[in-house]
Amino acid sequence: MAEPILEVIDLQKEFIGSRKKRIRAVNNVSFTINEGETLGVVGESGCGKTTVGRTIVRLYDADGGKVLYRGLDIHKADRRTTRKLAKQIQMVFQDPYSSLDPRKTVLSILEEGLKIHKLFRTKKERIERVYQLLELVGLNREHANRFPHEFSGGQRQRIGIARALSVNPELIVCDEAISALDVSIQAQIINLLIDLQDRLKLTYLFIAHDIHMVRYISDHIAVMYLGTLVEKASTEQLFKNPLHPYTRGLLEAIPVPDPKHEQQQSTLKGEAKPLTIEHEGCRFYNRCPFAKEICRDSMPALKAHDSGQTVACHMVHSENW
Amino acid sequence: MSRSEQFMIENPFERVGATDHANDPIVRPTISFWSDVRRRLIANRVAMFGLICIILILILAIIVPELSSYSYMDQNLSNTNAAPSRDHFFGTDSLGRDLWVRVWVGARVSLAVGIFGSIIPSVIGIVIGGISGYFGGFIDTIIMRAVDIIICIPSMIYVILIMLVFGSGPIPLIIAFALTGWMGAARDVRGLILQLKEREFVLASKLLGASHLSLIFKHLVPNTLGIVVVGMTMSVPGAIFQEAYLSFIGLGISPPIPSWGQLANLGTAVFRIYPYQLLIPALLISITMLSFNLFGDGLRDALDPKLRS
Amino acid sequence: MKETLLEVKQFKFSFDTYAGEVQAVRNISFHVKEGETLAIVGESGSGKSVAVQNVMKLIPSPPGRIIQGQIIYQGEDITHYTDRQMEQLRGKELSMIFQDPMTSLNPTMKIGDQIIEGIRNHEPIPRADAVKKAIKLLTEVGIPDPKDSLSRYPHTFSGGMRQRVMIAIALACNPKILIADEPTTALDVTTQTQILELMNDLKEKHGTSIVMITHDLGVVAKMADRIAVMYAGKIVETGTVEEIFYQPKHPYTWGLLQSIPKVSSKRMGKLETIPGTPPDLIAPPKGCGFASRCKFCMNICKEVEPESVSISASQSAKCWLLDERAPRVEREHEEVKKYS
């Protein structure tokens, strides 16, 4: 059994929305990632998946709960440990256009982490390492003196991955790292990430809204809806037997690339609207085709189901499901 | 391409497969941000006209006083208020001083005050605005409220007070401009930094462990420089004009050191008889201000990312 | 036989940039018939948006420049129409919806006023009638409380609702062709399904032709009657939806179909990809644009551009593999068979 590398326990994060309403972006989210594995986090916009990712890399502070990296609470770490953690947890960003400084060459972008952590003594060694990084992600050393705007989206994302790898991290949070790319390029990046994982023994937290792309890279998948985790399962289990009505809706909604496929009318009506902190019931209540009274009044807890996955739904756990 | 040409190819239908993509050549030439700006600036004729005028004035200001046989304070009471001639291109003033030399010595003073009087406050503004925007929260509130208050008080009041304390001359003038001119730049930079600091490349550097100082001055400020440089260029004419105005009303630069404002001041006294004594410095002030404005406009267009293609 | 509404013939379009001429669209031809949905599929930079934005004359010149070709709408050559002439067509004959509805709605105007303005630009009817029509339109596109919605501002709507409003505005004057440029890319999946269903319903009801620009083959399968696959500024393959999905002939189409994750695939692990990146159209390759990324590339592909080869009345592709002298290449059919 692999060691857990990251444990997120009851994580909470609030934002102040319009008219000073408190919006709970992340609500008691808990999960574990084992070393060398990939956890995919899926959900639609506004579900809090990006906030979870950013809290784990310490761009945000948590308003409640803990994030343990190898047993160490990352939000309570002292300065020196924080510096060390920066080397261990890295992030790949969504937008390949805004994630690279337009004024800097690829070399100086990739060199930055090496300089900050004083990983090499001489400039020559650093440049050698940058060349090595470029080749690792499928670019070549001639690209080092180019500026970001000269590259295509896919190539820029490779540079972003190289930057994350420059400090030899163990855990990489991929925040919608493929969403802004073309389909054929998405597949390239996924393959690159899988390849790097095998070679460098990386652990990924892979955040995305496209559940089908996530499945190729993830060992486990967590589905989020409006700040809560609604279902958590191994990838195989989730696709074989999705339990939560939202997961099912999500899977059904994806258009199948086959003209003869008879798609059902979408079961999910309406759209997700952010809820204030006062909301008590299940967050999916107003869109759920199975909702009953209990769903309006109390929030279902994430519980293990007989089939092996954990799911937060009153109906799934009730007798007559 | 004609069909017959295909027979020039050896084994046209032999399968060779895909190319190795790590070596994809990039077709476009490497071009850094600033060289791109330069290219577009050069393509802008009006801006280049402004720049050429500025350079011409600078060159004249540097060499004329060195090469001329007169100095700016040599009086020749036997040849006062002479009309422009071969000996004195711009004539002489009421003390018989050569106006050609005085105008270009004055240019040194006016341009120095104009240029340093806008660079120094801009630099102060960048630092204060950068810190304010980056840290946000309490520090930001304090700094920005202070700016609001300082900006309310007419800057002329400070300038006059400072001139009274430090005396008149180019250095006190620049100090006065520095103390009164940084607020605009600080506001601009702060606004830009507030936008930029959420950009992913800044977050990425933060995650790599970059310190606050390096985030502000290596990543954020360089990305605001374009706009700040435009602001700086556009504020040069303002500073030149302010100097001229202060000298004209007797503050600012005091005799015998000439400045354009000074010369214009002296010129007004004899304007009805010898109009060129006022018109020449006035014209130079106008040309310089116009040139800086044209150049600044061009610079702004060259830096505008929306026009990039 | 249905009438051809729009025809684009041998169209070439370039952008002039500092580094030279970027040949965004390199000689494409396509047509749209009455009541059908044509999907133009391709990656970013393939020229698919440029192609249709030209039909609407939305690209300023300079930097854009028509090199050659014609755009014919209902028998009339509109290639060089002036802005004023285009105003008569836009909204009334041809309408367009965009990827991001927020940028195409005026944020300071109530949506009711925006719809009414659209109606009255083309039909001189009293305001009261226009209001009635606006309410009808909003009901049709599934906006709850259409009457109250008239006095709301765009930012109070969610992304999906905004796109519905955009569709209402686009359909206000019963255009014959609706051009949809990545209409659902910015939306969540569950919302996307709703919008696509809405577009299909409206097409059935009004007989509007749709030109759909997208990179999502799932969306294409759900919407399109015919497909044009664009790559590096050219249409490399065109055909009916069945032909493209079940008997594709161009290796790029194969690659596209393979790189989408399969819903029912049991095999996990690596995805099929198309290696490399599309060519920079500032210096388009001499031969086939796809040659450098093509597994089946032959010597000739790099040198000579392939001609379009007809496979059936509706399908054609540009590829040297279709030449009789080329070696037979069997596409790995595994993926597609699953569906059929």
Q: Per residue in C222-255, pLDDT tens?
A: 889 999 999 999 999 999 999 999 889 999 998 8
Phi/psi at B256 (5° precision): -90, -5
- pLDDT band with cut points at 50, 70 and 90 for residue C330: low
Give the chain C residue whose CA is nearest to the CA of A255.
Answer: C218
CATH code of the domain in which C182 resides: 3.40.50.300
> Residue C121 is part of which domain span?
4-224
Same domain flag for C268 and C305: yes
Quick check: B214 and A115 in contact, CB under 8 A? no
- Is C2 buried (19+), middle (13-18) or exposed (0-12) by CB count in 10 A? exposed
Instruction: Name which of A154, A263, A268 is nearest C277 (Cβ-Cβ).
Output: A154
Quick check: B298 and B48 in contact, CB under 8 A? yes
- C243 occurs within a structural domain: no
- C103 occurs within a structural domain: yes
Q: Looking at this protein, which amino acid is placed at residue A190?
A: I
Question: How far is residue C124's CA from residue B177's CA, in Å, rounded to a whole number?
Answer: 61
Interval C96-118: pLDDT, tens:
998 887 778 888 888 888 888 88
What percent of chain C stands above pLDDT 70?
Answer: 94
Question: How far is residue C253's CA from residue B240's CA, in Å, rounded to a whole number?
Answer: 65
- Residues 59-88 of chain C with CB under 8 A from chain B are 63
Q: Looking at this protein, which amino acid is placed at residue A238?
A: L
Question: Is A216 in Cβ contact with C261 (below 8 Å)?
Answer: yes
Which chain B residues have a beta carbon less than 8 Å from that of A146? Answer: 26, 30
Instruction: Name which of A191, A253, A269 is nearest C189 (Cβ-Cβ).
Output: A253
- Looking from the CA of A56 toward its CB, the CA atoms found within 13 Å total 35
Q: What is the pLDDT of residue B307?
A: 47
Question: How far is residue B222's CA from residue B126's CA, in Å, rounded to a whole number?
Answer: 10
- pLDDT band with cut points at 50, 70 and 90 for residue A276: low
CA C215 to chain centre: 9
Q: Which residues contact A118 (CB under 8 A, 6 or more apart)?
A: none
For the cut 60, the answer to whether the pLDDT of residue B22 exceeds it is: no
For the cut 70, the answer to whether the pLDDT of residue B306 exceeds it is: no
User: Which tokens go with B139?
Assistant: 């520090």
Which chain A residues have a beta carbon less than 8 Å from that of B205? Answer: 101, 112
Q: Report the 10 Å Cβ neighbour count for C9.
A: 16
Strand, helix or coil at A23?
strand
| Residue C286 to residues C231, C279, C305, Cα–Cα distance (Å) | 14, 11, 7
Question: How far is residue C191's CA from residue C193's CA, in Å, rounded to a whole number?
Answer: 5
Which chain A residues have a beta carbon less than 8 Å from that of C43? Answer: 182-185
What percent of chain A stands above pLDDT 70?
Answer: 95
Q: Looking at this protein, which amino acid is placed at residue B143?
A: I
Interval C281-322: pLDDT, tens:
888 888 898 988 888 888 888 888 898 999 898 999 999 988
Which chain C residues have a beta carbon less than 8 Å from that of A266? Answer: 190, 193-194, 197
Question: How far is residue C239's CA from residue C129's CA, in Å, rounded to a whole number?
Answer: 43
- The closest alpha carbon to A182, from A221, A213, A142, A144, belongs to A213
Q: Which residue has the tokens 């006059």?
A: B160
Chain C: give the shortest CA distance to residue B297, in Å. Answer: 20
User: Which tokens go with B28?
Assistant: 């476009």
Q: Which residue has the tokens 């960003």?
A: A93
Question: How far is residue A32's CA from residue B15's CA, in Å, rounded to a whole number?
Answer: 49
Quick check: C116 and C127 in contact, CB under 8 A? yes
CA B227 to chain centre: 12
Same domain flag for C8 and C114: yes
Phi/psi at B106 (5° precision): -60, -35
Quick check: B129 and B185 in contact, CB under 8 A? yes
Quick check: A209 and C188 in contact, CB under 8 A? yes
Question: How far is residue C225's CA from residue C247's CA, in Å, rounded to a whole number?
Answer: 15
Q: What is the pLDDT of residue C302?
A: 86
Q: What is the pLDDT of residue B4?
A: 45
CATH code of the domain in which A241 resides: 3.40.50.300
- B153 occurs within a structural domain: yes
Q: What is the pLDDT of residue C333?
A: 45
Question: Looking at A81-95, B198-212, C57-71, which range is the least confident one?
Answer: C57-71
For the cut 60, the answer to whether the pLDDT of residue C2 exceeds it is: yes
Question: Is C242 in Cβ contact with A153 (below 8 Å)?
Answer: no
Same domain flag for C14 and C157: yes
Question: Looking at A152-166, B202-216, B262-276, which range is the least confident one?
Answer: B262-276
- Looking from the CA of B198 toward its CB, the CA atoms found within 13 Å total 5
Query: How many domains would you assign to chain A?
Result: 1
Residue B182 belongs to what H/E stretch? helix B170-196
CATH code of the domain in which B128 resides: 1.10.3720.10
- C241 occurs within a structural domain: no
Same domain flag for C215 and C279: no
Question: How far is residue C123's CA from residue A248's CA, in Å, rounded to a whole number?
Answer: 46
Q: What is the pLDDT of residue A180?
A: 84
Q: Which residues contact A279 (CB under 8 A, 6 or more apart)?
A: none
- pLDDT band with cut points at 50, 70 and 90 for residue A129: very high
| ipTM, interface predicted TM-score of the complex | 0.86
Q: What is the pLDDT of residue A296?
A: 83
Question: Looking at B118-127, B297-306, C54-63, which range is the least confident one?
Answer: B297-306
Which chain B residues have a beta carbon less than 8 Å from that of C297? Answer: 15-19
- B24 occurs within a structural domain: no
For the cut 70, the answer to whether the pLDDT of residue C167 exceeds it is: yes
Mean residue pLDDT of chain A comes to 87
> Residue A33 is part of which domain span?
4-256+265-317
Instruction: Name which of C190, C218, C274 is nearest A249 (Cβ-Cβ).
Output: C190
Angle between helices B276-303 and B221-248 (to 10 degrees): 170
User: Which tokens go with A54?
Assistant: 């950013």
Q: Looking at this protein, which amino acid is placed at residue C302?
A: K
For the cut 50, the answer to whether the pLDDT of residue A186 exceeds it is: yes
| Residue C83 to residues A120, B36, B47, C3, Cα–Cα distance (Å) | 61, 33, 31, 27
Question: Is B19 in Cβ contact with C293 (below 8 Å)?
Answer: yes
> What is residue A175's DSSP assignment?
E
- pLDDT band with cut points at 50, 70 and 90 for residue B21: low
Query: How many domains would you assign to chain B?
Result: 1
Question: How far is residue B186's CA from residue B165's CA, in Å, rounded to a whole number?
Answer: 26
- Residues 170-189 of chain C with CB under 8 A from chain A are 188-189
Chains that touch A (3 or more CB pairs under 8 A): B, C
Interval A31-60: pLDDT, tens:
999 999 999 999 888 788 999 999 999 999
CA C35 to chain centre: 15
Quick check: A234 and A220 in contact, CB under 8 A? yes
User: Where does a domain end: C206, C224, C242?
Assistant: C224
Q: Looking at this protein, which amino acid is placed at residue A247?
A: T
- C323 occurs within a structural domain: yes
Mean residue pLDDT of chain C comes to 85
Interval B139-188: pLDDT, tens:
999 999 999 888 888 878 878 888 888 877 788 888 888 888 888 889 88
| Residue C264 to residues A184, A258, A260, B150, C189, Cα–Cα distance (Å) | 19, 11, 14, 68, 18
- C232 occurs within a structural domain: no
Query: How many domains would you assign to chain C?
Result: 2
- C310 occurs within a structural domain: yes
Which chain B residues have a beta carbon less than 8 Å from that of C304? Answer: 1, 5-6, 9, 12
Quick check: C73 and C261 in contact, CB under 8 A? no
Interchain contact C102–A (C-beta under 8 A) = no
- pLDDT band with cut points at 50, 70 and 90 for residue A253: confident
Interchain contact C19–A (C-beta under 8 A) = no
- Looking from the CA of A22 toward its CB, the CA atoms found within 13 Å total 10
For the cut 60, the answer to whether the pLDDT of residue C263 exceeds it is: no
- B146 occurs within a structural domain: yes
Sheet holding C316-318, edge to edge: C94-97, C177-181, C209-214, C37-41, C226-231, C234-240, C316-318, C308-310
- B12 occurs within a structural domain: no
Strand, helix or coil at C74?
coil
Residue A311 belongs to what H/E stretch? strand A310-311
Cα end-to-end span (Å), chain B: 30
Instruction: Name which of A103, A138, A143 is nearest B222 (Cβ-Cβ).
Output: A103
Question: How far is residue B40's CA from residue A275's CA, in Å, rounded to a whole number?
Answer: 49
Question: Is C282 in Cβ contact with B27 (below 8 Å)?
Answer: yes
Interchain contact B18–C (C-beta under 8 A) = yes
> Residue B298 is part of which domain span?
36-68+91-303
- pLDDT band with cut points at 50, 70 and 90 for residue A136: very high
Which chain B residues have a beta carbon less than 8 Å from that of A83? Answer: 209
Quick check: C54 and C227 in contact, CB under 8 A? no
Chain A: give the shortest CA distance to residue C219, in Å. Answer: 6
Which chain A residues have a beta carbon less than 8 Å from that of C217? Answer: 183, 257
- pLDDT band with cut points at 50, 70 and 90 for residue C325: confident
Interchain contact B35–C (C-beta under 8 A) = no
Torsion of CA A178, A184, A190, A195, to 10 degrees: -150
User: Which tokens go with C185?
Assistant: 């890319």
- Can the peptide bond before residue B256 be classed as cis, meaning omega within 30 degrees of 0? yes
The residues of A whose Cβ lies within 8 A of any Cβ of B are 57-59, 83, 86-87, 89-91, 93-95, 98-103, 105, 112-113, 116-117, 135, 138-140, 143, 145-147, 150-151, 160, 163-164, 166-167
Chain B: give the shortest CA distance to residue C24, in Å. Answer: 13
User: Which tokens go with B165?
Assistant: 């304390």
* Interval A100-106 mean pLDDT: 89
Question: How far is residue B280's CA from residue B289's CA, in Å, rounded to a whole number?
Answer: 14
Measured CA angle at A44 (ends A38, A48), to 5 deg: 70
Interchain contact C212–A (C-beta under 8 A) = no
Chain C: give the shortest CA distance to residue B185, in Å. Answer: 30
Using the Cα atoms of residue C59, residue C60, residue C62 and residue C66 in order, give the sign of their dihedral. Answer: positive
- C283 occurs within a structural domain: yes
Question: Is B13 in Cβ contact with C300 (below 8 Å)?
Answer: yes
For the cut 90, the answer to whether the pLDDT of residue A17 exceeds it is: no
Residue B113 belongs to what H/E stretch? helix B99-135
Question: Is A273 in Cβ contact with C216 (below 8 Å)?
Answer: no
- pLDDT band with cut points at 50, 70 and 90 for residue C33: very high
Quick check: B22 and A139 in contact, CB under 8 A? yes
Torsion of CA B113, B115, B117, B119, to 10 degrees: -160
User: Which tokens go with C161?
Assistant: 């609702």
Question: Is B24 in Cβ contact with C18 (below 8 Å)?
Answer: no
What's the alpha-carbon Rg for chain A, to the nearest Å? 21
Quick check: A273 and A262 in contact, CB under 8 A? no
Sheet holding A4-16, edge to edge: A22-34, A4-16, A64-69, A72-73
Instruction: Name which of A116, A138, A143 is nearest B210 (Cβ-Cβ).
Output: A116
pTM of the model: 0.84
A26 φ/ψ sector (left φ>0, alpha ψ -120 to 50, else beta): beta
* Interval A87-113 mean pLDDT: 91
Quick check: B238 and B285 in contact, CB under 8 A? no
- B165 occurs within a structural domain: yes
- SS3 string, B279-300, reads HHHHHHHHHHHHHHHHHHHHHH
Using the Cα atoms of residue C218, residue C220, residue C225 and residue C230 in order, give the sign of their dihedral. Answer: negative
* Interval A205-215 mean pLDDT: 88
- The closest alpha carbon to A176, from A50, A20, A310, A31, belongs to A50
Question: Is A150 in Cβ contact with B209 (below 8 Å)?
Answer: no
For β-strands C316-318 and C234-240, DSSP reports them as antiparallel
Give the chain B residue whose CA is nearest to the CA of C319.
Answer: B13
